[in-house]
Amino acid sequence: MSTDEAGRLFHFTRLPRPVVDRAGGVYLWDKSGKRYIDGSSGAVNVNIGHGNRAVIDAMKRQMDRVSFAYTIHFQNEPANELADQLASRLPRGMDRIYFVSGGSEAVEAAIKLARQWAVATAQPTRWKIIGRMPSYHGITIGALEPTGDDVLTRVFEPMSRPMPLIPAPTVHRDHDDLSLEERGLHYADMLEAKILQEGADSVLAFIMEPIGGAATAALVPPDSYFPRIREICDRHGILLIHDEVMTGVGRTGKFLGGDHWTCRPDIVVLSKGLSSGYAPLGAIAASEAIVGPVVAMGGFLHGHTYGGNPVSCAAGVAVLQEVDRLGLIANAATMGEVLKDELAALSRRFPFVGDIRGKGLLVGAEIYADPEARRPLPREAVANVRLIDLAFERGLIIYSRRVRGGPESDNFMVCPPLIVTRAEIGEIIATLGDTLEAFAREFNL
Ligand code: PLP
């Protein structure tokens, strides 16, 4: 079978992309020998970079011992070790950990855990999960329910229940006279209005990314947002779920994105950086107050064949060791500032790039046809796809998306592996500059 045929079978459609050959550090090479610098860490998951020897060796050692043992029959050391390691890094008391194979699965697990907690604590009327618009929480039917993206959700509406949504705090787009912190409170208060509109007794949880990822390109809420959200959830007995699939494990310069603020969630969802792409892995974490009643009621009605897989968990343990050994969380914080400064300099050269934001190495920006009026390019221009392609031609991988839901715009993120050096950031920025020059010519900007 030719590679093209294999590609067609695998993805249903053949993407016009080269076949990857190998990878190391922040680079990937295709079969023709062309080199790409990974300015998106794959799907913003390869946090420790490609080809990490320690992780590969740890996985090989585990495979030599045992690759699979069903969690119904056996505990395994890597899963126990990873749970302990995570508990020591998560907010105090969040020491009940449950492993799955990816982000969407983990979001589903969080939703189901919340629901079982409500039933176990005699609150069976609570089932609604309030989400934000725009947002992304995964691609399975359940994870799409609180996801704010009409294009992804509409077709499936007869089968999946669209959940109530409130606007994400897109404060950079607001032109009103309120201060940043007042705007943070204004967006947070929309949660309370929605809860009251839905009926507090029917609302189970609120799910959000502490720092918005795919849907909002590194959207950082004002400091006032988090305490008010926590206060509102507490007032109405609603669980707060932090989807840290993209922001977790050091990406934003702290272990969790939520660690930039003091208020704590009830359930944390992790994936991506947890195994850094070396194996499929996701997790949820919660406290005994949530998990205890569920266990007492007969146990969590959940479980996947590959949950707690020993090889995936061995990868996770080794990834956490590498994050510590290489000081990657501190590097993400430092290099993130360098990257933001460099992007700001680029936006002076290309004024159609604006609203640069982010924390650590989750950095994003908007693209406007008219930056003054924050007017986007027309949807038909598919500018985000062109930006990705123009960069790819030049050997740079970036992440770009059309915002769907709320005011539209094209945005992009630059989020290299957390091992990135100053010189590599220089290379990313130089290639991005060439890319934006070509983009400006093509779109008459
Ligand atoms: N949640 C967030 C915040 C994500 O960014 C993603 C993926 O991009 C997911 C959930 C879904 O993860 P997965 O693609 O592993 O199913």
Ordered by start, the domain boundaries in the chain are 3-51+327-443, 55-325
The CA-to-CA distance between both ends of the chain, in Å, stands at 45
Q: Are strands 239-243 and 203-208 parallel, antiparallel or unpaired?
A: parallel
Atom from ligand 1 closest to the CA of residue 138: 11
Q: Tell me, what's the pLDDT at 176?
A: 74
What is the CA(99)–ligand 1 centre distance, in A? 15
**Separation CA 362–CA 417 (nearest Å):** 10
Atom from ligand 1 closest to the CA of residue 143: 10
Per-residue pLDDT of the chain (445 residues; tens, 9 = 90+): 344 544 555 667 767 789 999 999 999 999 999 999 999 999 999 999 999 999 999 999 999 999 999 999 999 999 999 999 999 999 999 999 999 999 999 999 999 999 999 999 999 999 999 999 999 999 999 999 999 999 899 999 999 888 999 999 998 888 678 999 999 999 999 999 999 999 999 999 999 999 999 999 999 999 999 999 999 999 999 999 999 999 999 999 999 999 999 989 999 999 999 999 999 999 999 999 999 999 999 999 999 999 999 999 999 999 999 999 999 999 999 999 999 999 999 999 999 999 999 999 999 999 999 988 889 999 899 999 999 999 999 999 999 999 877 778 899 999 999 999 999 999 999 999 999 999 999 999 9
DSSP 3-state percent helix, strand, coil across the chain (nearest 5): 45, 20, 40
Task: Supply the residue whose CA is at minimum distance from atom 7 of ligand 1.
Answer: 138
What is the CA(229)–ligand 1 centre distance, in A? 22
**Separation CA 13–CA 1 (nearest Å):** 16
Q: Is 382 left (phi over 0), alpha (psi -120 to 50) or beta?
A: left
Percent above pLDDT 70 for the chain: 97
Contact 258, 267 (CB under 8 A): no
Q: Which of 44, 137, 252 to mutate to test the pocket of ligand 1 (most atoms within 8 A of CB)?
A: 137
Summarised one tens digit per residue, pLDDT across range 157-200 is: 999 888 999 999 998 888 678 999 999 999 999 999 999 999 99
Q: What is the pTM of this model?
A: 0.96
If you ran DSSP here, which 8-state letter would residue 259 be given?
A: G
Q: Tell me, what's the pLDDT at 172?
A: 83
Q: Tell me, what's the pLDDT at 175?
A: 66
What is the CA(129)–ligand 1 centre distance, in A? 17
Q: Which fold has domain 55-325?
A: Aspartate Aminotransferase; domain 2 (3.40.640)
Q: Which of 303, 293, 292 is nearest to 72 (CA)?
A: 303
Q: Tell me, what's the pLDDT at 60?
A: 98
174 phi and psi angles, rounded to 5 deg: -80, 140
CATH topology identical between 3-51+327-443 and 55-325:
no
**Protein residues with CB under 6 Å of any ligand 1 atom:** 43, 102-104, 107, 136-139, 209, 213-214, 243, 245-246, 271
ipTM for the assembly: 0.99
CA angle centred on 44, ends 40 and 50, rounded to 5°: 75
Q: Tell me, what's the pLDDT at 44?
A: 98
Contact 383, 443 (CB under 8 A): yes
Q: Tell me, what's the pLDDT at 356?
A: 96
Q: Tell me, what's the pLDDT at 114?
A: 98
Q: Write down the H helix ranges in 140-262.
A: 141-144, 150-153, 180-198, 225-236
**Separation CA 62–CA 195 (nearest Å):** 47
CA dihedral 268, 223, 358, 24 (to 10 degrees): -40
Q: Tell me, what's the pLDDT at 11?
A: 67
What is the CA(137)–ligand 1 centre distance, in A? 6
Summarised one tens digit per residue, pLDDT across range 381-398 is: 999 999 999 999 999 999
For residue 310, give the 3-state DSSP assignment.
Answer: helix
Exposed, middle or buried, 389 (CB in 10 Å: 0-12/13-18/19+)?
A: middle
**Separation CA 144–CA 206 (nearest Å):** 14
For residue 325, give the 3-state DSSP assignment.
Answer: helix
CATH of 3-51+327-443, one of 3.40.50.261, 3.90.1150.10, 1.20.120.330, 3.90.1300.10: 3.90.1150.10
Helix axes 328-349, 310-325, angle to 10 degrees: 70
Atom from ligand 1 closest to the CA of residue 107: 10
Contact 214, 136 (CB under 8 A): yes
Contact 388, 398 (CB under 8 A): yes
Q: Which of 45, 44, 41 is nearest to 316 (CA)?
A: 45
